[in-house]
């Protein structure tokens, strides 16, 4: 169960009741102002993150290796979008659980993230197979000394 859905409204109610007992209607106004400011801060953060992500291609990240190193289990989708500055490429059906997103870099390395309930539960990084450009390496074709 997600306790944040219960704790935030309970904290607001406790704050409002405490403000009422301490300052009557002025306390209610102060508590309401604090709650509105808190909501506006979160809203501004979300809009800023999505505005930055809107200017980038979907599913693109500058470095898949760095993203892989920074990911932590339990991170929210919004936190991952803020790290990548890009919306992920949705690989599953819309509005189904778990949600699977992929971010790919210029070298075609990609990180595939699985979100359950909006929280990161698993991720995997894949790099493209290294192609051999030459059949013999320089060490194998060196000239012997006379």
What pTM was computed for the model? 0.75
Report the candidate in 119, 100, 105, 95 with the shortest Cα–Cα distance to residue 59: 105
Q: Are residues 11 and 34 in the same domain?
A: yes
In a domain, 146, yes or no: no
Residue 49's H or E segment, with its range, is helix 25-54
Q: Which residues of 42-73 are buried (b: 16+ CB within 10 A; e: fewer)?
A: eeeeeeebeeebeeeeebbbebbeebbeebee
pLDDT at 120 over 90: yes
Report the candidate in 140, 118, 144 with the shortest Cα–Cα distance to residue 2: 118
> Is 80 in contact with 120 (CB distance < 8 Å)?
yes
Q: Are residues 18 and 71 in the same domain?
A: no
Q: Which two three-digit tokens encode residue 121?
A: 């539960």
Q: Are residues 37 and 65 in the same domain?
A: no
Q: State how many domains the chain has.
A: 2
Domain that holds residue 109: 58-126
Tell me what the mean pLDDT of segment 122-145 comes to: 63
Q: Are residues 72 and 112 in the same domain?
A: yes
Q: Are residues 18 and 63 in the same domain?
A: no
Q: What does the pLDDT read at residue 134?
A: 41
Q: Are residues 38 and 98 in the same domain?
A: no
């Amino acid at each position: 169960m997600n306790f944040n859905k219960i704790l935030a409204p309970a904290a607001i109610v406790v704050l409002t009741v405490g403000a009422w007992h301490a300052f009557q209607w002025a306390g209610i106004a102060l508590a309401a102002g604090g709650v509105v400011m808190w909501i506006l801060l979160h809203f501004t953060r979300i809009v800023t993150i999505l505005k930055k992500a809107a200017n980038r291609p979907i599913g693109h990240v500058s470095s898949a290796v760095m993203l892989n190193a920074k990911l932590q289990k339990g991170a929210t989708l919004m936190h991952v979008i803020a790290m990548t500055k890009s919306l992920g490429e949705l690989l599953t059906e819309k509005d189904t659980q778990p949600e699977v997103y992929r971010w790919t870099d210029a070298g075609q390395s990609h990180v595939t993230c699985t979100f359950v309930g909006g929280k990161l539960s698993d991720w995997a990084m894949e790099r493209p197979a290294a192609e051999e450009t030459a059949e013999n390496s320089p060490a194998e074709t060196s000239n012997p000394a006379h």
